[in-house]
Amino acid sequence: MNYKGKSKEELIKELQKLEKTNDVLRLSLEKEKNNRIPKEKCLRENSFRLMVQNSPDVIWTLDKNYRYTYISPSISKLRGLLPEEAMKEKIQDTISLDSQEDFFDAIADLRDEVKQKSYQPVTVEVKQNHKNGHIIWVEIVINAYFNEQGDQIGYMGISREITQRKIAEIELLEKKGKYHTLTENMKEVVWSIDTESMLIDYVSPSIIQLLGYTSEEILSGSIELVTTRKTLKIIHKQVDKAKDNFKINSSDKDNNYHVEVELLRKDGSKVWVELTSRFVKNRVTGQLEMYCRTRNITERKLAEEALKSSLERFDTLVAMVSVGVYIFWIRSNGHMEFEYVSDRWRDIHDVRPDEDMTDITTVNNKIHKDDIEDFLLANMEAARDRKPFVWEGRFNIKNDERWFRIESIPIGYENGDIRWFGVTQDITERYNAEEALRKSEEKLRELNAQKDKFFSIIAHDLKNPFNAIMGLSQLLIDQIKEKDYEGIEEYGTYISESTEKAMNLLVNLLNWARSQTGRMEFNPENFEIVELIEENKMLLAGNASQKLISIKTSLPEKLTVFADKQMISTVIRNLLSNAIKFTKENKEILITVKENPENIHVSIKDQGIGIAADRLEKLFRIDSSVSTPDTNNERGTGLGLILCKEFVVKHGGNIGVDSEKGKGSTFYFTLPKNG
């Protein structure tokens, strides 16, 4: 563009046009960019999806219970299954039994990677079952799977068939020269040992870093040269077991071993190694060959020994106290485990030294079923608020119910973990002493109430009938002396009624006294309860007829029970007598007997004055028994109902009442069918 010969105003106008053009171009570019990004994202996602679906390798995800949550279509090529068929399985169920240990070892290694926040994948080779029934070799690459918040929600991995490669490797192992070349640059030491002569057939060059020998120095030498006596015994034991297994199974199943042992260095010092052994039969010679892999773990073992020594000193200190000491972790992912427990803690909780303390159900399963909810709620509250935990409750220890007091203090960490330092104290003896004192106080109160009730009956309730008898008898004597016979029949009736009341009261009083002192005999027998009810009905028929009360029954034809006949007769008589007392004239009483699957139910329903709700719960208690005036405005002692309860409970039954003020009452009791 030519700006020569133009005025200042023209140049300004040109610049303004350029700025507008620039703004339009910028807006257009931004709009194009915004439209392009979602398209590119969608394109990437579609490309990734197509890549997964068309990949010859199987791509999958698992939840934390190892159940598939996604599996790519190539599973049909690998194992002959459709994805929807495979989704119904857990991955460990698809792996041969002899490979499952390798798989879970890989999972354990992955967990270590996650804990160390390195998030490196792990690789494992396993045997898997094909739908057609044959075994295939599969290489699995696994890594942890996290959600957007950074919490692990499962695993993701890739499976690739390596059957042909494994066959080739096995053949390669049988050819020593080729096998040796695989181990030349390994940091771990690889061995092969003749199981007959126990001579070293091969050892990788890295032996010089581990034991100070060159390969040539120990090749064809005895394994005894580099092993302690204890390690040599372990190896011989593995060889003997492998030979026995091959005789039984004719395969290499169960012939893999993993131990931590000591080896001897050239300078005489000892080194700790992780020894992994595998026994294989040579296809050509048929001889059993032992292949070993060793890894130096001396530093770890020394650290463990130092920690063990420190813990032993700590144990010495905590052994001097009567409480059990523990250190407990609640991890941010919800996992819980014991880091440390003292011997006293194990004694208190009845936990053997060899029991796995990473599984807290070992302890929690011993908490009393009625206390477990309170224990868990107290735990959650203390963990949520980061406050000290204090709880008292029952544990089931060696078929015995024990009371424990548990106290712990939390220390929180930035990653969300909580470490609890606590003690457990067996307070059973203290609790039992407190409980015995409480029961003793209750018993003392009950005895005082019984004493008060006893003297009340003697001083008042038993005295009144005799006062009436004495007064009426004297009046009757005076009128007979004066030959005035008017009204003497009425006096005789009153004397008879008062005598009957006194006698009934005396019988109940004596029976109750005998039951309280343990002198009342309990003689259960088989008898017809229907007949017993009819006998008591006839016995009290006169009392009912005086008030024009009709006694009706709803009874089976026959019903045999196993009980103390005299006691049950006393119960029926007292309940029926009370029903007559509290029922108004020209009303009726209904006696019902029902046979249930577990018990015999007897009820006596009246149309009397009823009982107020606040009095119902006190009817059968000696310390607060109450009496209600009958239709003649006379009060009883309440002793009859208390005696009824004593007798029914002695049979293992229940007694109760349904009543409403002004609408009558139904007293009932049950007897177990099995006696």
The model's pLDDT over 488-531, given as tens digits with 9 standing for 90+, comes to 777 677 677 667 766 766 766 666 666 665 556 788 999 999 99
pLDDT on residue 271: 94
Among residues 568, 664, 649, which one has the least CA distance to residue 607?
Answer: 664
Mean pLDDT (whole number) for 652-662: 90
* 3-class secondary structure, 203: strand
pLDDT of the residue at 372: 92
Reply yes or no on whether the pLDDT at 23 is more than 70: no
Q: How far is Cα 344 from Cα 249, in angstroms, rounded to an integer?
A: 46
What is the pLDDT of the chain when averaged over all its residues? Answer: 81
Q: Cβ neighbours of residue 228 under 8 Å, at least 6 residues apart?
A: 261, 262, 263, 264, 270
Q: Is the per-residue pLDDT at 128 higher than 80?
A: yes
Mean pLDDT of 644-668: 90
Q: What is the mean pLDDT of residues 451-461?
A: 54
Cβ neighbours, 10 Å, residue 591:
21
- Report the pLDDT value the prediction gives residue 43, as an integer from 0 to 100: 46
pLDDT above 90 for 593: yes
Can you read off the two tokens belonging to residue 337? 């485990």
Residue type at 365 in one-letter notation: N
pLDDT bracket for residue 423 (50, 70, 90) = very high
For residue 339, give every residue at least 6 positions away whose Cβ sits within 8 Å of its Cβ, in sequence order, or none.
327, 328, 329, 419
pLDDT number for residue 273: 93
> Which carries the bigger pLDDT value, residue 468 or residue 369?
369
The winner for highest mean pLDDT among 141-145, 270-274, 296-300, 636-640 is: 270-274
Find out whether 339 and 347 touch, Cβ atoms under 8 Å: no
Which residues, at least 6 apart from 559, have a Cβ–Cβ distance to it below 8 Å? 528, 529, 530, 593, 595, 600
Average pLDDT of span 311-319 = 75
Largest CA distance in the chain: 170
What is the mean pLDDT of the segment spanning 169-179? 62
- Average pLDDT (28-34) is 63
What pLDDT is attached to residue 526? Answer: 93
Q: What is the pLDDT of residues 235-279, one digit of tens each?
A: 999 999 888 888 877 665 667 888 999 999 999 999 999 999 988
CA-nearest of 487, 469, 471 to 479 is 487
Q: What is the pTM of this model?
A: 0.34
Question: If you average pLDDT over residues 385-408, what whole number do you get?
Answer: 92
pLDDT at 88: 87
pLDDT score of 656:
92
Please state, in angstroms and rounded to a whole number, the distance separating the CA atoms of residues 461 and 486: 30
pLDDT at residue 178 is higher than 60:
no
Report whether pLDDT(11) > 90.
no
